[in-house]
Each structure stands twice: as structure tokens, then as C-alpha cells.
């Protein structure tokens, strides 16, 4: 049965953000906040996340779906989409749904469909290739092979904050509660409770055993009121004040570290679809406590020699939002009739 | 039966480990990771009759042996320790000290990391998903 086409221009953009951790909802929030800046349509996120902080922080409405089995999930998604009559559907990473739940829905959706995709394991690339034809636009970030016969484009890493939105070093260190010049090591996690606990304890042990004169701070959506916990969100805003970031190799943390220029040490974790080992190739990777201790010591000692300039990077979220807005004709046309759309904030520079 | 100790760096929760023994003082069920072996002197402090068997206790009971030991430390060694290390908030946190051969010493660099430390680097397929429930939505 086909879904009802949207009846008004106020119909929302629906963003499908399923998966573990905060990565998918963070990318959803990053793109939707940029779309909002372009004057885009209202949006609703459908998600299973237990960490909705990125959406709450950006005041993006979301519907939490708890179904675990494919049939049940498909049924619930279909109900939500019928109820919302979306103007467009954006799917994050999993072209046919995280457990195949979108495969029967996508062909019946009357609205434009956009896939935001990043690098995935080879086992999932086949699913993506099969479902690609259902999409009107595919936006690729990281190393993704272009898709034949589908409108597609590449963009820089999609980040929750652009360079100009980060704090100054002084302001960031004030938020982190540090008023001296000692380096700050920031541990970041959205992993499982048990992993997070072992990870933070290990860092603390290394700092103590190596006698590192560095402040340790931990950022986690579960962080409670300890002297180490940083509750600021999004944490990337504080990276200019941090000297070493340590965490797994997920999409957001990895690209935030690279973009902001802070020293990073990664502990890539196994995920069913995400390939953190691939992503962190060439970066500082620790594969044992001894390696982590050595890399951490090196990074802390190197801190005074590393120049910290204001970060300057292109945010793929802006590119992705502009591409989606173009697809949906959300942008005003340029007054010179040059046939390209421009956001209101960036008028056409043609004579 | 599960260990009855609390664990957690940021949020306390009940330990998931299987109970292998019990505290010789309070009877709490304990896993191997949460047992603290006592020296004969410490057993005396806790009014445990020294026997041929090894006495183990939980962290709370083990802590009761510590103030006495702390007083035994000389002023000189404390001052040396302070000069060597900058003071940070956790330096006096007993969670970061370790019962070494039944006594109470800070961690010493050069000894091995524990299995728990190595689990952080375990990149085998996760049994639990990112959100700690199952792997259905592990991504």
C-alpha cells in the first residue's frame, strides 16, 4: 500500500536515525540545524537512540521507537510515516534500514528520499548498493564509491559544529574548570557502560602511574557529578581548550578531532557495520594499555610544542543541507536567473 | 550468585561478576576482582582469628584496616611522595590504590595491567550494542 503524499508545504522532513550510540542522531542534528538555518521545512527524527541529547539540545522533535524485530519495526515506521506525511525522508547510513526494515517502505514512499552515507563494512555495502536505486539523492561522506544512476555528491565530514562556533581556548578551559597551564586530557565515550567504566579507570590509572601532570576530564552522556565529568554539549566546542582527546574511533569523534587540530588517541572498537579500524588508519591508535600509556605520555609531553591555532575547516553538514534544500526547492532562486539556488545568507556573487 | 559489590567510575551499579567467595567479616558475596586479601596483622585489626586459610574481605571492610596503616607511614615518605607527584583530586582516592601482597600500596609503574584494562582494547564482536542492551542495533 502506498503512503499518502504530503498535502501541504509545511509537511515535515523526516530523518531516520537508527543505530547504536550517539553518532546517528548527532549527524541528524548536524544536518537538520543547518537546514533550519537555510529556512528549511520543519523536521522530525525517528530514532531508537537512548541518547537523544543532540536532538534535545537543538530542539529538534523526535519520536522514539523501541521495536526490535524487523516486522514490528517496519509496521511502526509505516504508521509514523503515514501520520507525518513527510515532505522528504532522509535516511542515515542504513540504506534499507538498520535491520532491513525500510526495504518494503522505501518503494512506496511518494516523497523525495535522501541517503546520507559514510564508510561501512563490506558486508553492508551490498545492502546499500541494492537499496540505492530507491533514493533521489545520495550524499556521501568519507570514502564511498559513487553510485551509478543515482544523483549523488560528496561532502566533507558532517559535524555538529562549524569552525566558527567553537570556543576560544581560554573560554573552553574555563568551562573545563582548569585555571592553570597544565595540559588537559579529555576522554570521550558513548560506548557501553562497562566499556566506558573500564576505559576511564584505565586512563586514570595511567595518569597516576606515569605521574602525568595533566588534568583528566571525561565526557559521556552518562557522566554524573564527579570532579572529572564534563556535561557540556556538544563537547567539540571545547576542543580548542583540550590538549589530548582519547576515545574510540566512531565517526563523529574521529572527524571532530581531525578538524579541530587537537591531538587524538583512538581505541577503535568492533561494530557490526561501522569499521573503526579502517577509519583510524594512519592516526594514533592504541591497541594495548601499554601503548595507550606510551602514546598518552608522548602527547602530554608534546603539548607545549604544538601550536594551537583557531580551527578552520569546512563542515559537511552545511554542504549536505544545501544539497537537500536544492533537491526540495527550499532555497530562493537567484535574482539574476542564473538557474542556481542560493541560501538567503549567501547572495549570489555573479555580476 | 552475583557479586554484591558496587562498581562504576561515573555511576555506581552492582557488579556483574560471579560470586566466588564471601567477605570474612560481613559475609558479602564477592567476585575475584572485588576481594582483598588480608595479612595476619590486618586480620587481627578486624578481629579475625588468624588461621591457616586465607582471609579475604570486601572493600568496605578492607578500608577499616587502612587508617592504622596510614599512621604507620613516616612523615618523610609522605613528604617525598608529595614532592614527586603533583596533587590531583584523586590522589587520596582508595579506589585507585591496590592491595599489593595483602598490604596497602599505591600502584607501582612496571607491574602488569589487569585483564580489565585489556578489555578496553578488545575489538572482537561486541556481545552488547552501543546502548548496552543487545547487538540488534549495534552499528
- Cβ A136 vs Cβ A113: under 8 Å: yes
**A70 contacts chain B (CB < 8 A):** no
Query: Which pLDDT does position B52 carry in this prediction?
Result: 56
Q: Provide the chain A residues 311-340 that lie in CB contact (below 8 A) with chain B.
A: none
- Cβ A42 vs Cβ A328: under 8 Å: no
Pairwise CA distance, residues A260 & A265, whole Å: 14
To the nearest whole angstrom, how far is the Cα of A17 from the nearest Cα of chain B? 11
- How does pLDDT run across B36-82, given as a tens digit for each residue? 778 878 888 888 876 656 788 887 888 777 655 444 443 444 444 44
CA dihedral A90, A92, A94, A99 (to 10 degrees): -90
Give the list of residues 6+ apart from residue A162 with CB closer than 8 angstroms, or none: A313, A315, A317, A318
Pairwise CA distance, residues A58 & A31, whole Å: 11
Predicted structure pTM score:
0.74
To the nearest whole angstrom, how far is the Cα of A288 from the nearest Cα of chain B? 6
pLDDT, mean of residues A170-189? 93
Backbone angles phi, psi at B80, to 5 degrees: -65, -40
Give the N- to C-terminal CA distance of chain B in Å, as an integer. Answer: 33
Q: Provide the chain B residues 96-125 that lie in CB contact (below 8 A) with chain A.
A: 96, 106-109, 113, 116-125
- Which of B106, B124, B136 has its CB closest to that of A270? B124
Q: How are the residues of chain A apportioned to helix, strand and coil, as percentages rounded to the nearest 5?
A: 35, 15, 50
To the nearest whole angstrom, how far is the Cα of B33 from the nearest Cα of chain A? 13
ipTM: 0.76
Pairwise CA distance, residues B51 & A71, whole Å: 62
pLDDT at B89 over 50: no
**B83 contacts chain A (CB < 8 A):** no
Give the list of residues 6+ apart from residue B133 with CB closer than 8 angstroms, or none: none
Pairwise CA distance, residues A120 & A290, whole Å: 29
Mean of per-residue pLDDT scores for chain A: 88
Burial class (CB in 10 A: 0-12, 13-18, 19+), B3: buried
Mark yes or no for CB contact B120/A215 under 8 Å.
no
Query: Which pLDDT does position B131 carry in this prediction?
Result: 37
Mark yes or no for CB contact B139/A48 under 8 Å.
no
pLDDT, mean of residues A91-101? 93
pLDDT, mean of residues A194-200? 84
pLDDT at A291 over 80: yes
pLDDT, mean of residues A309-333? 89
DSSP readout, A227-252? SSEE--SSGGGGGGG-SEEEE---HH
**Cell numbers found for residue A239:** 576542543
- Which of A182, A211, A223 has its CB closest to that of B85? A211
Tell me how crowded residue B14 is: count the other CB atoms within 10 A of its CB: 12
Q: How many CB pairs under 8 A join A and B?
A: 137
- Cβ A33 vs Cβ A60: under 8 Å: yes
Range from A8-17, A98-107, A233-242, B45-54 carrying the lowest mean pLDDT = B45-54
Pairwise CA distance, residues A254 & A256, whole Å: 6
Mark yes or no for CB contact A215/B88 under 8 Å.
yes
**A194 contacts chain B (CB < 8 A):** yes
- Which of B109, B122, B125 has its CB closest to that of A210? B109
**Cell numbers found for residue A350:** 555573479
Amino acid at each position: 500500500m502506498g503512503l499518502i503524499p504530503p498535502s501541504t508545504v509545511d509537511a515535515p522532513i523526516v530523518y531516520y536515525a537508527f543505530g547504536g550510540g550517539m553518532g546517528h542522531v548527532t549527524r541528524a542534528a548536524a544536518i537538520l540545524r543547518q537546514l533550519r538555518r537555510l529556512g528549511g521545512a520543519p523536521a522530525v527524527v525517528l530514532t531508537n537512540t537512548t541518547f537523544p541529547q543532540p536532538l534535545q539540545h537543538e530542539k529538534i522533535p523526535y519520536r522514539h521507537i523501541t521495536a526490535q524485530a524487523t516486522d514490528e519495526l517496519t509496521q511502526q515506521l509505516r504508521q509514523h510515516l503515514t501520520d507525518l506525511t513527510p515532505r522528504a525522508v532522509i535516511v542515515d547510513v542504513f540504506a534499507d534500514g538498520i535491520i532491513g526494515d525500510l526495504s518494503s517502505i522505501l518503494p512506496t514512499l511518494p516523497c523525495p528520499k535522501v541517503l546520507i552515507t559514510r564508510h561501512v563494512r563490506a558486508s553492508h555495502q551490498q545492502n546499500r548498493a541494492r537499496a540505492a536505486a530507491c533514493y533521489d539523492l545520495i550524499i556521501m561522506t568519507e570514502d564511498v564509491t559513487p553510485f551509478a544512476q543515482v544523483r549523488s555528491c560528496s561532502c566533507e565530514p558532517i559535524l555538529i559544529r562549524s569552525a566558527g562556533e567553537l570556543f576560544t581556548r581560554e573560554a573552553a578551559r574555563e568551562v573545563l574548570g582548569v585555571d592553570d597551564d597544565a595540559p588537559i586530557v579529555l576522554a570521550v565515550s558513548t560506548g557501553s557502560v562497562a566499556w566506558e567504566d573500564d576505559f576511564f579507570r584505565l586512563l586514570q590509572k595511567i595518569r597516576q602511574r606515569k605521574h602525568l601532570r595533566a588534568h583528566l576530564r571525561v565526557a559521556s552522556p552518562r557522566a554524573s557529578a564527579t570532579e572529572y565529568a564534563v556535561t557540556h554539549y556538544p563537547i567539540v566546542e571545547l576542543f580548542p581548550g583540550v590538549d589530548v582527546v582519547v576515545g574510540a574511533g566512531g565517526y563523529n569523534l574521529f572527524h571532530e578531532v581531525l578538524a579541530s587540530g587537537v591531538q587524538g588517541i583512538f581505541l577503535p572498537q568492533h561494530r557490526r557495520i561501522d569499521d573503526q579500524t579502517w577509519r583510524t588508519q594512519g592516526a594514533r591508535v592504541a591497541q594495548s594499555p601499554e601503548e595507550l600509556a606510551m602514546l598518552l605520555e608522548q602527547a602530554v609531553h608534546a603539548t607545549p610544542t604544538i601550536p594551537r591555532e583557531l580551527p578552520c575547516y569546512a563542515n559537511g553538514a552545511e554542504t549536505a543541507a544545501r544539497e537537500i534544500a536544492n533537491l526540495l526547492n527550499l532555497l530562493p532562486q537567484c535574482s539574476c536567473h542564473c538557474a542556481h539556488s542560493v541560501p538567503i545568507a549567501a547572495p549570489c556573487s555573479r555580476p | 550468585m552475583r557479586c554484591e559489590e558496587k562498581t562504576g567510575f561515573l555511576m555506581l551499579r552492582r557488579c556483574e561478576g560471579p560470586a566466588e567467595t564471601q567477605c570474612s567479616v560481613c559475609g558479602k558475596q564477592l567476585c575475584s576482582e572485588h576481594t582483598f586479601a588480608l595479612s595476619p596483622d590486618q586480620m587481627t585489626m578486624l578481629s579475625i582469628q588468624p588461621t591457616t586459610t586465607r582471609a579475604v574481605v570486601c572493600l568496605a571492610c578492607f578500608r577499616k584496616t587502612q587508617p592504622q596503616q596510614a599512621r604507620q607511614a613516616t612523615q618523610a615518605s609522605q613528604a617525598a611522595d608529595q614532592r614527586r607527584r603533583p596533587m590531583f583530586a584523586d590522589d587520596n582516592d582508595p579506589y585507585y590504590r591496590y592491595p599489593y601482597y595483602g598490604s596497602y600500596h599505591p600502584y607501582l609503574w612496571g607491574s602488569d595491567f589487569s585483564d580489565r584494562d585489556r578489555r578496553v582494547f578488545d575489538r572482537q564482536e561486541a556481545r552488547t550494542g552501543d546502548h548496552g542492551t543487545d547487538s540488534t542495533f549495534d552499528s
